[in-house]
């Protein structure tokens, strides 16, 4: 063996000894991580240990120790340390250590490097929560961040879930959760199963333990359900709990509703005699309760504005109605309670309601506890129900839109609190109907008069434009018609039909170079300039997840096209009809005269969850529509 070969072998052995020693000491080396954990991963949870000790109904100790290896810069967000605290949650014993690829410690974060900020959310007027924050700035990849800390909390109303996978592109080597509790508190838990992986369970008296190992990173897919609905998790609730020092009981939904009514809502509906007389004056000639409620709701909208308040139990208890009346502002809880108090004056029953606002998420009927992040109001009206979103000064009476529609919510009724479902806006009612007349000029540009009618949840997406500045309105339409060249818009007008929940837009538009030369004296153009599908779902022959379409819609277009004198229509595409489980599509072009063409299009998509095996069919469905939306009409210059 040559001297140089010996040197190389000795060097390799020396390097292996360092790596072995590092692994034995820290376990955070990255060179020998199982390939199944690195595939499609940006980060790897090396460990995530949570120990919850419920000491009493008003005291809980949470100890967390976690380490995450960051493989590349796309995973840096996983390395953030964020911990919230308040008068009811104290953070202690924070330790943050950074390791390199060999598992060697390269930095221990100092106390003054951990930032302490007010938990500003951009809309809260009052917020007593603060946040501790640290973000490591790496010199190289991969690296590992290890964090440990303790939280002492008196809010036993909220026990941390066991949620072992909370992001795509994040694999898990090991994760453990343990909770201990006194027998007299009656802890309940719910295990939500998943087809992706199982959570190991160890169930003992006064102690529950859960764990997972070697979970590969999840790759997101087009039109898949939200990750939270795909992965397993375990949730917890106590029958006897404390919220910001206020004791509570929740054996069932009725008992929880009574507690909310007694501890959070009671004696917060008092209003002045002046306000009472004002409300009675507003409704005195109203023909029915529906009209009375509408007038009161609009009065509330005109008088108040939305400002969040998050202080102590104020995160759940509304401001008194008298205070809202005097200050003319409140958060969702306060405005819902204030509106309820106004309705009480007129003798109209209404019920405070807790809901998860945003992406569709139900109140979990199987686990009785405080749930939700938003408050709305429910008015029973015979067989129908009126839902009121009290935080908006602009939306129509009885319209909740996509923020709280079609989900299970908790209605607080002293005589029978229960879980019910909010209004579902069906696809045919979420309608955008566009009618337009387009004149093609001799320079092959266009002048168009356009009307767009937005109804149902489509209203939710556009009504705000009436309240923004003129220059921003024009910018909006230029972006909407970015498929055209040198767009100019004018004569913008709006009609806000709050009765039928439809928002109408009318405008004039000019654009250049609408037509494209095909050959000498022959030109083509796409008649669909308003609603063409922008893309086709990516190909995926190994689909893992169902297809999820959260909201259905109906788009309808009727466009009259006038071609200039001296040109003749030489080609019109054939009609197209596509039917399937996902929806329907129809396209028809008719030649009315030598210079007039009418383009009609209808596209309805159905909401729902569809089997993953249907993804190929769904992609084909959209691809056919994409192709049809780009069909061209050809005109030819007449030779004189």
Q: Say if 573 falls within a structural domain.
A: yes
Query: Quick one: 310 and 223 in the same domain?
Result: no
The dihedrals phi and psi of 569, each to the nearest 5 degrees, come to -80, 120
The alpha carbons of the chain give a radius of gyration, in whole angstroms, of 31
Neighbours of 495 (CB within 10 A): 12
Same domain, 278 and 228: no
pLDDT over 70 (residue 10) = no
Question: For residue 121, what pLDDT is reported?
Answer: 42
Q: What is the pLDDT of residue 19?
A: 46
Tell me which residue of 212, 210, 72, 64 sits closest to 142, measured CA to CA.
72
Q: Do 266 and 201 belong to one domain?
A: no
Residue 555 sits in the same domain as residue 407? no
Q: Is residue 168 part of a domain?
A: yes
Q: H or E element: which one contains 334?
A: helix 332-345
Contact assessment for residue 439 and residue 494, using Cβ atoms and an 8 Å cutoff:
no
User: Phi and psi (nearest 5°) for 141?
Assistant: -125, 155
CA distance 304 to 392: 9
Q: Are residue 116 and residue 257 in the same domain, yes or no?
A: no
Say if CB 194 and CB 248 are below 8 A apart: no
Q: What are phi and psi of 20, to 5 degrees?
A: -65, -40
Single residue among 421, 441, 471 that ends a domain in this structure: 421
How far apart are alpha carbons 349 and 444 in whole angstroms? 62
CA 34 – CA 521 distance, rounded (Å):
65
Residue 256: how many other CB atoms lie within 10 Å = 24
How does pLDDT run across 250-267, given as a tens digit for each residue? 999 999 999 999 999 999
C-alpha span between 525 and 433 (Å, rounded): 22
Distance of CA 1 to the CA centre of its chain: 66
Task: Report the pLDDT value the prediction gives residue 123, as an integer from 0 to 100.
Answer: 37
Q: Name 242's bridge partners.
A: 247
Q: Has residue 23 been placed in a domain? A: no
Check whether residue 410 and residue 554 sit in a common domain: no
For CA atoms 239, 240, 246, 252, the dihedral sign is: positive
Is the pLDDT reported for residue 327 higher than 50?
Answer: yes
Q: Give the model's confidence band at 384: pLDDT under 50 very low, under 70 low, under 90 confident, else very high.
A: confident
Contact 492, 474 (CB under 8 A): yes
Taken as a whole, the chain contains a residue count of 640
**Could you tell me what percent of the chain has a pLDDT over 90?**
86
Burial class (CB in 10 A: 0-12, 13-18, 19+), 70: buried
Domain count for the chain: 3
Q: If you write DSSP's letter for every residue of 25-38 in order, what string do you get?
A: HTS---TT--HHHH
Which tens digit of pLDDT belongs to each residue from 59-72?
Answer: 999 999 999 999 99
User: Kind of pairing, strands 305-306 and 329-330?
Assistant: parallel
Average pLDDT over residues 304-326: 79
DSSP 3-state helix, strand, coil percentages of the chain (rounded to 5)? 25, 40, 35
The CATH number assigned to the domain holding 398 equals 3.10.620.30
* Shared-domain flag, residues 265 and 395: yes
Q: Which of 26-30, 234-238, 262-266 has the lowest mean pLDDT?
A: 26-30
Distance (Å, rounded) from C-alpha 91 to C-alpha 94? 8
For residue 146, being part of any structural domain is answered with: yes
The enclosing domain of 99 has a CATH number of: 2.60.40.3140
Which tokens hold the place of 133? 């924050």
Tell me: do 284 and 321 sit in the same domain: yes
Query: What is the rounded average pLDDT for all residues in the chain?
Result: 92
Q: Spell out the residues 6+ positions from residue 436 whose beta carbon is closer than 8 angstroms to its own.
A: 448, 449, 450, 451, 530, 557, 558, 559, 560
The pTM of the full predicted model, rounded to 2 decimals, is 0.90
Q: How far is CA 515 from CA 306, 402, 481, 633, 639, in A?
A: 49, 38, 15, 10, 19
Q: In what order do the strands lie in the sheet with 567-571?
A: 516-519, 522-525, 633-637, 567-571
Question: Which tokens hold the place of 476?
Answer: 């909006």
pLDDT band at 8 (very low <50, low <70, confident <90, very high): very low
Residue 12 lies in a domain: no
- pLDDT for 365: 96
Torsion angle of C-alpha atoms 164, 167, 173, 176, degrees rounded to 10: -20
pLDDT digit string, tens, across residues 508-557: 999 999 999 988 889 999 999 999 999 999 999 999 999 999 999 999 99
Provide the residue range defining the domain that includes 193: 33-243
DSSP code of residue 217 = P
Does residue 581 belong to any structural domain of this protein? yes
Domain endpoint, select from 375, 395, 421: 421
CA-nearest of 156, 406, 390, 381 to 289 is 381
Which DSSP string do the residues of 457-498 spell out, in sequence order?
A: HHHHTTGGGGGS-HHHHHHHHHHHTTTSEEEEEEEEEEEEET
Residue 432 is part of a domain; what is its CATH number?
2.60.120.1130
Phi and psi torsions of 507, nearest 5°: -160, 160
Q: Are residues 532 and 604 in the same domain?
A: yes
Under the banding of pLDDT at 50, 70 and 90, the label for residue 199 is very high
- Are both 576 and 481 inside the same structural domain? yes
Residue 400: C-alpha distances to residues 163, 222, 298, 366, 395 (Å)? 30, 27, 14, 25, 8
CB atoms within 10 A of CB 29: 24
402 and 433 within one domain: no
Asked if 365 and 464 sit in the same domain, the reply is: no
* Residue from 455, 450, 447, 531 nearest 492 by CA: 450
Coil, strand, or helix at residue 282?
Answer: helix
Distance from C-alpha of 372 to C-alpha of 477, rounded to nearest angstrom = 36
Averaged pLDDT for residues 127-134: 84
Task: For residue 349, give every residue at least 6 positions away whose Cβ sits within 8 Å of its Cβ, in sequence order, or none.
Answer: 343, 379, 380
Give pairs for 607-610: CB < 8 Å, separation 24+: 607/427, 607/549, 607/550, 607/551, 607/552, 608/549, 608/552, 609/225, 609/546, 609/547, 609/548, 609/549, 610/546, 610/547, 610/548, 610/549, 610/581, 610/582
């Amino acid at each position: 063996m040559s001297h140089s070969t010996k040197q190389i072998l000795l060097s390799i052995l020396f390097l292996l000894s360092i790596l072995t020693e590092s692994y034995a000491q820290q376990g955070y080396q990255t060179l020998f991580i199982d390939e199944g954990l690195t595939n499609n991963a940006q980060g790897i949870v090396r460990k995530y240990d949570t120990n919850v000790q419920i000491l009493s109904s008003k005291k809980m100790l949470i100890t967390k120790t976690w380490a995450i290896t960051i493989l590349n810069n796309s995973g840096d967000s996983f390395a953030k340390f964020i911990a919230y605290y308040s008068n009811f949650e104290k953070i202690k014993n924070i330790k943050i250590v950074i390791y390199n690829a060999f598992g060697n410690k390269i930095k221990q974060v100092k106390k003054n490097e951990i930032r302490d900020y007010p938990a500003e959310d951009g809309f809260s007027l009052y917020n007593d929560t603060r946040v501790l924050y640290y973000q490591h700035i790496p010199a190289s990849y991969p690296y590992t961040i290890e964090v440990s800390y303790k939280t002492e909390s008196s809010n036993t109303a909220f026990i941390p879930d066991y949620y072992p996978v909370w992001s795509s592109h994040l694999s898990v080597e090991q994760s453990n959760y343990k909770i201990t509790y006194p027998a007299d508190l009656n802890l309940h838990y719910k295990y939500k199963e998943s087809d992706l992986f199982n959570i190991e369970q160890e169930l003992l008296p006064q102690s529950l333990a859960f764990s997972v190992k070697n979970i590969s990173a999840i790759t997101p897919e087009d039109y898949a359900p939200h990750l939270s609905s795909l992965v397993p998790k375990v949730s917890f609730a106590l029958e006897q709990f404390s919220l910001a020092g206020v004791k509570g009981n929740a054996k069932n939904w009725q008992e929880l509703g009574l507690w909310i009514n007694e501890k959070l809502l009671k004696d917060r509906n008092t209003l002045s005699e002046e306000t009472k007389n004002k409300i009675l004056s507003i409704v005195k000639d109203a023909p029915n309760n529906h009209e009375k409620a509408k007038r009161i709701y609009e009065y509330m909208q005109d008088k108040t504005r939305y400002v969040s308040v998050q202080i102590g139990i104020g995160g759940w208890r509304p401001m008194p109605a008298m205070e809202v009346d005097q200050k003319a502002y409140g958060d969702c809880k306060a405005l819902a309670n204030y509106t309820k108090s106004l309705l009480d004056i007129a003798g109209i029953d209404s019920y405070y309601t807790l809901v998860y606002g945003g992406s569709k998420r139900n109140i979990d009927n199987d686990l009785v506890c405080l749930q939700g992040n938003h408050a709305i109001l429910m008015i029973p009206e015979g067989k129908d129900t009126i839902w009121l979103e009290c935080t908006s000064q602009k939306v129509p009476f009885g319209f909740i839109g996509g923020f709280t529609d079609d989900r299970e919510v908790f209605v607080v009724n002293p005589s029978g609190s229960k879980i019910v479902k909010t209004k579902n806006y069906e696809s045919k009612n979420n309608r955008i109907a566009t009618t337009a007349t387009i004149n093609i000029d001799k320079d092959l540009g266009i002048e168009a008069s356009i009307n767009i009618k937005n109804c149902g949840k489509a209203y939710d997406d556009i009504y705000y434009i009436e309240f923004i500045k003129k220059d921003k309105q024009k910018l909006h339409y230029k972006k909407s018609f970015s498929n055209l060249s040198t767009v100019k818009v004018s004569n913008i007008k709006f009609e806000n039909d709050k009765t039928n929940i439809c928002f109408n837009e009318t405008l004039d538009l000019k654009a250049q170079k609408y037509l494209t030369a095909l050959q000498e004296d022959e030109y083509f153009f796409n008649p669909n300039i308003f609603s063409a599908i922008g893309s086709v779902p990516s190909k995926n022959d190994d689909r893992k997840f169902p297809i999820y379409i959260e909201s259905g819609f109906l788009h309808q277009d009727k466009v009259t096209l006038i071609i200039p004198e001296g040109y003749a229509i030489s080609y019109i595409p054939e009609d197209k009809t596509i039917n399937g489980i996902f929806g329907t599509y129809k396209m028809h072009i008719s030649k009315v005269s030598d210079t007039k063409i009418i383009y009609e299009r209808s596209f309805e998509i159905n909401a729902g969850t569809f089997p993953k095996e249907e993804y190929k069919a769904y992609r084909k469905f959209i691809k056919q529509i994409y192709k049809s939306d780009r069909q061209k009409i050809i005109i030819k210059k007449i030779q004189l």
